[in-house]
Structure 1
Amino acid sequence: MSAPPLVWFITGTTAGIGLALVKHVLSRGDKVIASGRKIEERLASLRVAYPAEQLALLELDIAAGRSVLAAKAAEAWEMFGHVDIVLNNAGISAMCSAEEASEEYVSRMFAVNFHGPLLLTQAFLPFLRAHAEVSSVRPIVAFTSSSTAWTPLPFMTHYAASKAALSAYVEGLRKELKPLGIDAVAFELGGCLTSLGQPREQDFGSLGHKPMGLDKTEGGAYEQGLGELRGMFMADPMGYMPGDVEQVARAMVRVLKREDEETKGWSVRVVLGSDAHGAITRKCEEMLEVLGNWRETAWGTDREGVEGGVKGDFARAVSILEG
């Protein structure tokens, strides 16, 4: 007997990776609650192609705040009676110097990339905990993060900071949820040719930030640095952003349907993209070199008489493999 279809709730589904995820999940016979802004308009063709028994649409602004997101989570749960996988995919990005970014710009970046997914997850968790107690399927809370959580790029400092916060949150979240029968994972993606770097007017336009950072830096102190970064990506977009949206979606779905769990186990942080894998590997190697250079200084700050280091229960608590 074949397993019953899973029910997915996915944010940020009107374009890019989110839309590819919805299409791939539907093609595999699972059910999807697709959410986003102007969702009925932007997914009208999918609404026609799939029956209401398989696809539901939910208007959602991930930055709407706690009370709105709590109401949306409850509404989503009722659509198919439960949710097996909550996939926090919505995100925004833009380029701006660290000095010139306004408070509103930084707040919006974190509201969409970090605070919104956090609040939505809080809203879903009581439902998921109850579902885990009666379901044969272990629920999952998943997040679309970025390799820049490990390797921040200049002029994308705020984006990288929001994704670093997200990945750290997910790693801790997994350790809290594992005993309750719920899994968590952050997908740390490399570069893909999507619209992520081209924020919509409602994201940053009203704050005076044009797409790709073409605003305050023109003629300013950071014009050359930003120009060099933009030039690098424009000169070879396929080379610096090698990811294929469809392949990324397939890989994420494969992980979330646990198709490699027998051989690879469950990982709380999954890197996708050759550029992401290469950059993070290099960062880890460099970090080990830095740690080696500064080991004597680090260990020299302990109190007299303590053994030092990490061991026992604390070692298990901070482990990415045992959490």
Structure 2
Amino acid sequence: MTSPKRSILITGCSLGGVGYALALEFAAHGMRVFATARSTGSLSTLEDKGIETFALDVTDSASIATLRDEIVRRTGGKLDMLFNNAGTMYEAPAIEADPTRTRAMFDANVFGLFDMVSTFTPLLLASASNTQTPPVIINTSSVLSRLPFAFSAAYNASKAAVATYSDTLRIELDPLGIKVVTVFMGEVATNLMSQKPEDFAKQIVEEVVVKSPRYGQGEHLWKGSNAVLVWFLNAIGWRKVFDSTVKKTVGLDQEKIRKSIFDKGQASVKLE
């Protein structure tokens, strides 16, 4: 039986995170929300709010297929929005990063997103019409796709991959009647120096549902702490505009630290 409400599937909705806050906010705007996480244990409070919850591992094709079948059963084969929020972060110096952990991160952040898009696009196509409110795919990138933050090169690269993929997907799906939105997320956390997940979710949902629901509107959203500043400097600045700030943040502007790193590198060569 097809739901009269517009529906949205959100990945990565574990308690306390951005996806959890997004699920609550979309539901508050009258949407039928399908919230997912690797473990449904942290989703019980969403169920209390009338949100439908499911287990999903975006790195597992069988898990994705099982969820697709269940969404089809519940909606009659249609979906109005897909919000690819799931992901993980692994930080390490680029030349010291563990290859296994790096590949696992790309599986979650990039290839899992690719698979979600491929699997659920047919459901979005089933919701496409000539109305001004098209079905939407929302992909979560990061300001670090444009800002070379040190010691997280692989993570930055995964989010740059999402941004490039999403922008190209936007062009390819336009003739099919599907809108694609890329979210460049700034710092979002629960401490006082970062934007809270609830505030971030309110801003995103306000843009997607209220302010910019039509084609050609709100296709690139910069939200979260310092996101607009990064957008502005990236748009008008030179290629190395962020270098001095990044170096200062991690101490790479200090000669003592730089010498220590150099000496460590030389010692590693001599040990070989």
- Residue identity opposite 1:253 in structure 2: V
- Residue identity opposite 1:259 in structure 2: K
Deviation at 1:5, TM superposition (A): 2.7
Distance (Å, rounded) in 1 between the aligned partners of 2:203 and 2:96 = 37
Q: Report Cα offsets for 1:159-210 as digits up to 9, x if no partner.
A: 110000001100000001111110001110111115xxxxxxxxxxxxxxxx
Distance (Å, rounded) in 2 between the aligned partners of 1:168 and 1:281 = 19
Corresponding position: 1:11 with 2:11: yes
Q: Following superposition of structure 1 onto structure 2, how do residues 172-211 of structure 1 map, counting pairs within 5 Å? A: 172-193=168-189
Deviation at 1:83, TM superposition (A): 1.4
Once the two structures are overlaid, the 10-residue window that deviates more, 111-120 or 246-255, is 246-255
Q: Following superposition of structure 1 onto structure 2, how do residues 204-219 of structure 1 map, counting pairs within 5 Å? A: none
- Residue identity opposite 1:251 in structure 2: Q
Distance (Å, rounded) in 2 between the aligned partners of 1:83 and 1:120 = 13
Runs of 4+ in 1 over 6 A off after TM superposition: none
- Residue identity opposite 1:266 in structure 2: Q
TM-score scaled by length of structure 1: 0.67
Change (3 A) 1:8 1:132: same
Matched residue, 1:33: 34
Q: Following superposition of structure 1 onto structure 2, how do residues 131-142 of structure 1 map, counting pairs within 5 Å? A: 131-133=127-129, 137-142=133-138
Matched residue, 1:64: 60
Matched residue, 1:118: 114
Q: In 2, are the aligned partners of 1:144 and 1:186 still within 8 Å (CA)?
A: yes
Distance (Å, rounded) in 1 between the aligned partners of 2:143 and 2:198 = 18
> Which SS does the other structure have where 2:107 is aligned?
helix
Matched residue, 1:255: 207
Distance (Å, rounded) in 2 between the aligned partners of 1:24 and 1:140 = 17
Deviation at 1:21, TM superposition (A): 0.7
Q: In 2, are the aligned partners of 1:149 and 1:164 still within 8 Å (CA)?
A: yes
> Which SS does the other structure have where 2:54 is aligned?
strand
Deviation at 1:249, TM superposition (A): 0.4
Distance (Å, rounded) in 2 between the aligned partners of 1:288 and 1:47 = 46
- Residue identity opposite 2:185 in structure 1: L
TM-score scaled by length of structure 2: 0.79
Once the two structures are overlaid, the 10-residue window that deviates more, 76-85 or 28-37, is 76-85
Q: In 1, are the aligned partners of 2:207 and 2:218 still within 8 Å (CA)?
A: no
Matched residue, 1:269: 220
Corresponding position: 1:246 with 2:198: yes
Q: Which structure 2 residue ranges, 5 or more long, are not aligned? A: 242-272
Q: In 1, are the aligned partners of 2:46 and 2:53 still within 8 Å (CA)?
A: no
Matched residue, 1:202: none
Deviation at 1:58, TM superposition (A): 1.2
Distance (Å, rounded) in 2 between the aligned partners of 1:149 and 1:77 = 34
Matched residue, 1:208: none
Deviation at 1:86, TM superposition (A): 0.5
Q: In 1, are the aligned partners of 2:81 and 2:124 still within 8 Å (CA)?
A: no
Deviation at 1:273, TM superposition (A): 2.8
Deviation at 1:261, TM superposition (A): 5.3
Matched residue, 2:123: 127
Distance (Å, rounded) in 2 between the aligned partners of 1:68 and 1:29 = 27
Distance (Å, rounded) in 1 between the aligned partners of 2:86 and 2:240 = 35
Q: Residue 102 of structure 1 is aligned with which of 92, 98, 101?
A: 98
